[in-house]
Chains A and B, each alone.
Chain A
Amino acid sequence: MRLTDMARQRFETTDHPYGESVGCLINEFARLPGIGRKSAERLAHHVLSCSGEEALGLADAIRQVKESIRYCTLCFNLTEDELCSICRDTRRNQQVVCVVEQPRDIVSLEAAGVFEGVYHVLGGALAPLSGVGPEQLRIEPLLRRVRSEGVTEVVMATNPTLEGDGTALFLSNLLDELPVSVTRLARGIASGSVLEFANREMLADAMRGRQTF
């Protein structure tokens, strides 16, 4: 049994004085990120006390999202259409492709609002110890895109963890054979902080990634 399952199982029981269906609802809420047992109970009581229309509206919204959202056939972002809004946007530079692990990374990068190219979602990071090898990721579709669509730059924006960096390394070795430049996100000191309080690692990263004025 996985450790995380083991820890979760201690909490899970459908017993509840009002009946099993309430117990189930509490369990479902408790599975949501950032929701503890107490919050789950509060949410369940809210559902029990609000109007049928309101409660079923929530259920419908969840159903609709699950039924209409799918992967963009080009970049594997989430979308309701064949192509996501970023891939459809003709003002964006289709020759610059930013590689991310998950669709939610696109949301973060788009909120920063500086990238004008398009994305490619791998679906995770290479993690051989957890059984995620190259064949589990959308690497072939990325190589096809680079080969056939005149991509000039691939920006690695995988997580700055060992496995994220390892994934970027694996990809950049593959892309070496293709006429495309490979870059990666800079890392280092956060804006608004001072050098004095930056740790050794941040300073080393910042020094290595220095740019011309």
Chain B
Amino acid sequence: MEKTEAVVIRVADFSETSRVVTLFSRDFGKIAGLAKGGRRLKGPFEAALDLLATCQIVFLRKSSASLDLLTEAKLISRFRPYGRSLHSLYGGYYVAELLSGLTEDYDPHPVLYDQAILALQRLAGDADFRSVLLRFEMALLREIGQLPALDFCITCNTPVGDDRRFAFWVSAGGLICSHCQRPEYGSPTITADAATLLSRFSDPNSPIPDIPPDRLPELRRVVTPAICHVLEHRPKMLRFLPF
């Protein structure tokens, strides 16, 4: 029997009364378990296993060939999007999609877990969903060891200074200065200012910076390809989020 706090990132009905639930847990990372009676209102799950709900769970770890068995879930909090904002809701779905696609079973990341919970709380409040998601994406990339190098040129090691333009080379995971750039890289460029702003997003302990509206496309030109690269496809939710 294992006990932990977890957030529900995927729910599939298994039978009339049971569900297969994927959770991202604080102490065990991603787990998928069968919740017998998980669709009932009463019983050990009390309708707690809704998408993006945070719960205290108890589960039975099974051998690698079969699903774990969830035996109990107590609701800590449900995710409620802010006001009537679909962006807040879709932002929450995006957090679930990234956790589900970019973490491994039984690979715990407590820091990432805390960041995910914070992101969901911020999305449920009146914070700007763009900055909240950018913070979460950067914290996630850092936590899984895929954060692009943002403070020097990855070929010549020149530190990122003022008023110079850099290209983002996604497969090499970093910036290239104008001297080292080759036309065949064909990467989008960002300014040194934008690179500095972006690195501030990757530090989970600093306050979330404001994004000047004209800066956002520049930041997304780095973060979206970086996410697509590690995920190996374009996240489904990007279609619904007006970045």
CA of A201 to CA of B20 in the docked complex: distance in angstroms?
24
Q: Collect the chain B residues with CB atoms within 8 Å of residue A113's CB.
A: none
Q: Which A residue sits closest to B9, measured CB to CB?
A: A129
**A128 and B86 within 8 A (CB):** no
Q: Which B residue sits closest to A170, measured CB to CB?
A: B86
Q: Collect the chain A residues with CB atoms within 8 Å of residue B22's CB.
A: 3
23 A-B residue pairs with CB within 8 Å:
A3-B20, A3-B67, A4-B20, A7-B14, A7-B20, A7-B34, A10-B66, A128-B93, A128-B236, A129-B10, A129-B93, A162-B50, A162-B52, A162-B53, A162-B89, A166-B86, A166-B89, A169-B81, A169-B84, A169-B89, A173-B84, A201-B75, A201-B78
**A7 and B67 within 8 A (CB):** yes
CB interface residues, A 147-192, toward B, < 8 Å: 161-163, 166, 169-170, 172-173
**A34 and B15 within 8 A (CB):** yes
- If over half of A's interface residues share one DSSP class (helix, strand or loop), that class is named, otherwise mixed; here it is helix
The 8 A-B pairs of least Cβ separation, nearest first, read A33-B16, A162-B51, A34-B16, A3-B20, A166-B89, A161-B50, A4-B14, A162-B50
CA of A129 to CA of B93 in the docked complex: distance in angstroms?
7
B interface residues (Cβ-Cβ under 8 A, vs A) = 10, 12-17, 20, 22, 32, 34, 46, 50-53, 66-67, 75, 78-79, 81, 84, 86, 89-90, 92-93, 96-97, 236-237, 239-240
Q: Collect the chain A residues with CB atoms within 8 Å of residue B13's CB.
A: 4
Known contacts A7-B66, A129-B236: A162-B78 contact under CB 8 Å: yes
CA of A160 to CA of B37 in the docked complex: distance in angstroms?
18
**A2 and B12 within 8 A (CB):** yes
Query: Is A19 interfacial (CB 8 A cutoff)?
Result: no
Q: Which A residue sits closest to B22, measured CB to CB?
A: A3
Q: How far is the CB of B214 from chain A (nearest CB, A)?
A: 27
Q: Collect the chain B residues with CB atoms within 8 Å of residue A6's CB.
A: 67
CA of A129 to CA of B17 in the docked complex: distance in angstroms?
22
Known contacts A7-B20, A128-B236: A163-B84 contact under CB 8 Å: no
A interface residues (Cβ-Cβ under 8 A, vs B) = 2-4, 6-7, 10, 33-34, 128-129, 131, 161-163, 166, 169-170, 172-173, 199, 201
Q: Collect the chain A residues with CB atoms within 8 Å of residue B84's CB.
A: 169, 172-173
CA of A171 to CA of B86 in the docked complex: distance in angstroms?
11
Q: How far is the CB of A25 from chain B (nearest CB, A)?
A: 19
**B86 and A173 within 8 A (CB):** yes
Q: How far is the CB of A209 from chain B (nearest CB, A)?
A: 14
A34-B16, A162-B79, A166-B86 known; 19 new pairs, CB 8 Å cut-off, are: A3-B20, A3-B32, A3-B67, A10-B66, A33-B15, A34-B15, A34-B17, A128-B237, A128-B239, A128-B240, A129-B97, A162-B92, A166-B81, A169-B84, A169-B86, A169-B89, A170-B86, A173-B84, A173-B86
